[in-house]
Structure 1
Amino acid sequence: MNKMNLRLSGVFLFFLLISVFAQAEIKLPAIFGDHMVLQQQTDAAIWGKATAGKAVRVSTSWDNKSYSAQADPQGNWKVKVKTPKAGGPYEITISDGSALKLKDVLIGEVWVCSGQSNMAMTMKGYRNQPITGSNEIIATSANPNIRMINIKLDKSLEPKDDFIGEWKECLPENVVNYSATAYFFGKMIQQVLNVPVGLINSSWGGTRIEPWISENGIKKFNWVSLPDKKKEGEFSPQVPTVLFNAMINPMVGYGLRGAIWYQGESNRNEPDQYRKLMPGLAENWRAEWGIGDFPFYYVQIAPFDYGVGGLSSAYLREAQLKAASEGTNMGMACIMETGEKTCIHPANKKAAGDRLAYLALAKTYGKSGFAYSGPILKEMTVDGSIVKLTFDHANNGLTSYGKELENFEVAGENKRFVSAKAFITGQGITLYSPAVEKPVAVRYAFKDFVVGDLFNIEGLPASSFRTDEWEK
């Protein structure tokens, strides 16, 4: 009996020691790991879990400095480390007596990439839905200065402190399963700046914008109902706040340069609300991060035949166009010529990624000598039956690449739009219709599906637009 008690005591002591040592281990959220990229020249936050009350020391190899923090009663600790100019690879050692080492850490530019299925769409495409040129692009994609992390799909009624994901090197076997839009964006940024780039992809196909906004942010929109946090059982990823809670909140505070966004198809029937939600999302993320008005660039949804029922997606595109000028430090990439009538996921993701990169390079990084926006309507004047349009972002003129302009319409006071004859001139566009003697309004490509045919000389398309504000 005594031997049995001794054995039981020994087993108990063994498991007690294992428990103590397990609790003493440094634990880091998934956003921190080997191969990660930290934002350059900033106070980058690093946080995690340790034994309550224990001292934690963080040492960085780029300057051989150490930073200390004490774990709170819940075991949480956080430090901010000063990052140098872009470079690496480096190591970060985190210790509470037992060391954890992060290897192959780069310092550079970090961007969050989010949205619904067109951002989520990987370089290998979807079933029977390709990415143009993907095979060659994937085969030649190896780049030691690009790093990527995919955040696993998850939803939560309460904010989470971690998600599932792993930083990976930019190799063909990883690029094939990574967001095509994000990859093309990161590739151009890295090539032009010649610094490491870190891409964080947190996207979920088919989702609306409201789930990506936190509770503090969504309260500003009185038409949106907050979820019942006590709800039991399964719930939809369309519920407001639940994707922010699970897929954004765990990385809030991670050092970054900005965010790119590709979403809107699931909100197409509420353009007026979306016009407010779009800048609201950017403001919300900035407030949660607390690092100022970082840039927020997004892709305007492409034309697509949504079929009968519902509002024309032209109104959602209009809302996105207007939001770009109404929000702070925002910009919109237009892809009017890449839409496909029967596929909501355009194969030409390079256009989306490259045009987001043009915005970032020009507006965030101060690069010049190239265009970052397609033509945007400046002014309309009417002389009898003739309408003249001028445009911003068309200093070198306009082009249709030799094709007839087919997407302009004009209306008189009866509000009936008819097709218009349109010509490119030295000043902009001149248009008319024999059926409209006294034109009062013009629309361009203002339909569900259309192939944009108006560009500036640099090859960037004009968004669909209208000069009227008549009822939808």
Structure 2
Amino acid sequence: MKAFLLLFATTICPLLHALELASPFGDHMVLQRQIRLPIWGTAAPGEKVTVTFANQNVSTRADAGGDWKIKLTPIPASPEGRPFTVSGNQSKTNITLLDVLVGDVWLCGGQSNMERQLGPRSGQPDIYNWQAEASSANYPQIRELYVQQTLSHTPQTRVDAKWRVCSPDTVEDFTAVGYYFARDLHLSQDVPIGIIHSSWGGTPAQAWTGKEGLSEFPHYLAESKRLQEHATEPERARAEHEKSVNAWYQQHDLGTREQWWQDTTSPEWQSMQLPNMWEDQGHDGIDGIAWFEKRFEIPTLWAEQPLVLELGAIDDVDTTWINGHKLGSTTGWQTLRRYEIAPQILKPGSNTIRVRVLDTGGGGGIWDPQTPLQISPKVNPTEAIDLAGSWNYKFSHIFTDGPRPPQDTTNTPGAATVLYNGMIAPLIPYSIKGVAFYQGEANAGNATEYQTLLPALITDWRKRWALGDFPFLFVQIAPFEGMPPEIREAQRLAQLATPNTAMAVTIDVGDALDIHPANKEPVGQRLALAARSLAYGDDIIYSGPTLIEATRRGSQAILTFDNAANGLVAPGGQAIGFELAGPDGIFHIAKAQIHPSKITLESERVPEPKLVRYAWSNVPEGNLYNSEGLPASPFQTQTSP
């Protein structure tokens, strides 16, 4: 299994004046076919550098800073592994890379659902059928370049990265979605496929976008500027942030001002079953701060020994106390909370846990159903006290009633530009065929912004690679109890507004209780279908039904779809998931009648349909497909006369 070492890019630098290739080049690499290939690296200033590959010998001289770059003429696809040599007239040794193929290269990026490898991962369910798939994954013409997770406050030229060949022994560490995508492309196009895997779980789109790409987002530009200013004094920056956060809590959070961490305070508690998102307990749409309390008793002997408190994952930031003693604070909605408790903090008999939870967007709370909520002796964790069940809670600050807290952007992969700087910039201009992107969960709290932020990212990458409007394929967020429908709509509208893009719909392969659905094969397959159409010109249906227009005719709403193939289909017979609303904006379930490429909707309670929506919930029910078995995207739109 791969080890995830998180690095600052400032620690990665080449030896001055050494003959070196840039980070993406290595043994077993795949080079992009049928395009002028940029090859670059470093050498002694003025040194003559010669690149030899595929019967080409191209030379240049390093500039005054030691940088050099050449371009090879276009090379056809080749499954033959050949040597790739770089020599310098001042260097004692040449660089020889082995087993280099020529085919198509795709960048596979995003957050945790792209990061998730094919093999097992602690705390997550196994990928469906992964062992059988791995045992047959003898595809030596598929290669993955794994890019080390690296953040940087400024654009970098190097990053740790290594190519590996797909085989039953290596594939379990490949990105699962990327592997299935590459497998289907390799089998359909019969050329070598290289995937560049650059992802980081829980990260937003602004972290993957370069500074120039954020020109329409002044708050992110300001954040990027602060990062660069603080890069030289990180300790001072962290201290300033902690001071500002503490001041914010004192000013805006009632629980902090009244010291609710003390078990002598008695807010007017309500009761909630945990683990659970608070949205699923009647508080839909609330972002802010809630305090939680749990009283429990321990055996007398436990009070004299170190204990461990486990609270699973908490969305997004927790600060935890026991009996008024602060145990710690953790950030990250997927990060498991595990706090050690020193002897003497607990007492025989009754004790009190209090947790302050800050939710910045999307779902919130002590939510993780797969990790036990418990307290146990450190030396014998099997003797645990179960803390799941009824907890007290009270909201102390809701963001609609006041400002949000200052964000720590000095050392987080979620800050604007830091992952572009550390994990994308060092790859440019390595030639690619296109991009497959699985991201958006971390932006679910601001879907309106994401509708323009995602196209800004796409435009930024296309400008920097200077390869034209290369195909950019992305995955629509799957159903999950913490993912609102607005984020899927933002993705749908972003795709419609951005040329040469496609969206793989996953409404039918999600998991209501897990943001990381285990059925990754259909995701990779649908991305590959989109690539076959956009990048390779295959005459296929690659998308589910796509809404073209919604019109009114009396009391009916008539929907017209593209990509119906040989006709719209509703498995089970009756199409479900459609709703209509009149001028009052209140939605009611609609009865749907399917035609080959149209659907007629009616509801007795909506005589004048003005709005129509489909599969519009966090975990929607919808069964509209085309004859190719591809699902329609959720949507919401107005009707026109």
Same-fold call, TM > 0.5?
yes
Kindly state the Cα deviation for residue 223 of structure 1 after the two structures are TM-superposed: 4.1
- Could you say what secondary structure the match of 1:391 adopts? strand
Kindly state the Cα deviation for residue 253 of structure 1 after the two structures are TM-superposed: 0.5
Which residue type is aligned with residue 261 of structure 1? F
What residue is the counterpart of 1:318 in the other structure? 489
Find 2:223's aligned residue among 189, 203, 226. Answer: 226
Distance in 1 separating the partners of 2:197 and 2:436: 10
Distance in 1 separating the partners of 2:472 and 2:181: 13
What residue is the counterpart of 1:18 in the other structure? none
What residue is the counterpart of 1:164 in the other structure? 160
Deviates more, 1:175-184 or 1:460-469: 460-469
Is 1:45 the equivalent of 2:38?
yes
Find 1:335's aligned residue among 506, 512, 529. Answer: 506
Deviates more, 1:247-256 or 1:217-226: 217-226
Is 1:285 the equivalent of 2:461?
yes
**8 Å contact 2:575–2:622 — kept in the other structure?**
no
Kindly state the Cα deviation for residue 361 of structure 1 after the two structures are TM-superposed: 0.5
What residue is the counterpart of 1:192 in the other structure? 188
What residue is the counterpart of 1:463 in the other structure? 633
Is 1:276 the equivalent of 2:452?
yes
Kindly state the Cα deviation for residue 28 of structure 1 after the two structures are TM-superposed: 2.0
Is 1:77 the equivalent of 2:72?
no
Is 1:206 the equivalent of 2:202?
yes
**8 Å contact 2:541–2:565 — kept in the other structure?**
no
Query: TM-score if structure 1 supplies the norm length?
Result: 0.90
Kindly state the Cα deviation for residue 427 of structure 1 after the two structures are TM-superposed: 4.6
What residue is the counterpart of 1:124 in the other structure? 119
What residue is the counterpart of 1:412 in the other structure? 582
Distance in 1 separating the partners of 2:58 and 2:164: 27
**8 Å contact 1:83–1:107 — kept in the other structure?**
no
> Deviations along 1:351-389, whole A, 9 cap, x unmatched?
111111111101111111x31111112232333333322
Distance 1:426 1:48, change over 3 A: closer
Kindly state the Cα deviation for residue 404 of structure 1 after the two structures are TM-superposed: 3.1
- Could you say what secondary structure the match of 1:442 adopts? strand
What residue is the counterpart of 1:15 in the other structure? none
Kindly state the Cα deviation for residue 220 of structure 1 after the two structures are TM-superposed: 3.1
Find 2:146's aligned residue among 130, 147, 150. Answer: 150
Deviates more, 1:35-44 or 1:228-237: 228-237
Distance in 1 separating the partners of 2:487 and 2:568: 25
**8 Å contact 2:19–2:88 — kept in the other structure?**
yes
Distance in 2 separating the partners of 1:54 and 1:417: 71
Distance 1:24 1:218, change over 3 A: closer
> Deviations along 1:143-178, whole A, 9 cap, x unmatched?
111111111111000111111111000112321011
**8 Å contact 1:215–1:226 — kept in the other structure?**
no
Q: How many residues align structurally?
A: 440
What residue is the counterpart of 2:82 in the other structure? 90
**8 Å contact 2:17–2:66 — kept in the other structure?**
no
Distance in 2 separating the partners of 1:74 and 1:337: 53
Kindly state the Cα deviation for residue 24 of structure 1 after the two structures are TM-superposed: 6.3
Distance 1:399 1:53, change over 3 A: same
Is 1:252 the equivalent of 2:423?
no
Find 2:134's aligned residue among 133, 138, 144. Answer: 138
Which residue type is aligned with residue 398 of structure 1? L
Kindly state the Cα deviation for residue 394 of structure 1 after the two structures are TM-superposed: 0.6
Instruction: Among all aligned residue pairs of Structure 1 and Structure 2, give the percentage whose two residues are the same amino acid.
Output: 39
Which residue type is aligned with residue 511 of structure 2? E
Which residue type is aligned with residue 112 of structure 2? S
> Deviations along 1:382-429, whole A, 9 cap, x unmatched?
333333222111141111222433311111221111112223234522
Q: Which has the higher strand share?
A: 2
**8 Å contact 1:268–1:316 — kept in the other structure?**
yes
- Could you say what secondary structure the match of 2:489 adopts? helix
What residue is the counterpart of 1:115 in the other structure? 110
Distance in 2 separating the partners of 1:289 and 1:313: 33
Distance in 2 separating the partners of 1:405 and 1:162: 52
Distance 1:451 1:347, change over 3 A: farther
In the alignment, structure 2 segments of 5+ residues that lack a partner are 1-14, 235-409
**8 Å contact 1:339–1:450 — kept in the other structure?**
no
Backbone CA RMSD of aligned residues: 1.7
What residue is the counterpart of 1:362 in the other structure? 533
**8 Å contact 1:38–1:83 — kept in the other structure?**
no
- Could you say what secondary structure the match of 2:141 adopts? strand
Kindly state the Cα deviation for residue 23 of structure 1 after the two structures are TM-superposed: 6.1
> Deviations along 1:322-354, whole A, 9 cap, x unmatched?
111211211111111111110011111111111
Distance in 1 separating the partners of 2:468 and 2:160: 27
What residue is the counterpart of 2:29 in the other structure? 36
What residue is the counterpart of 2:600 in the other structure? 430
In the alignment, structure 1 segments of 5+ residues that lack a partner are 1-21, 307-311
Query: TM-score if structure 2 supplies the norm length?
Result: 0.67
**8 Å contact 1:339–1:451 — kept in the other structure?**
no
Distance in 2 separating the partners of 1:262 and 1:125: 20
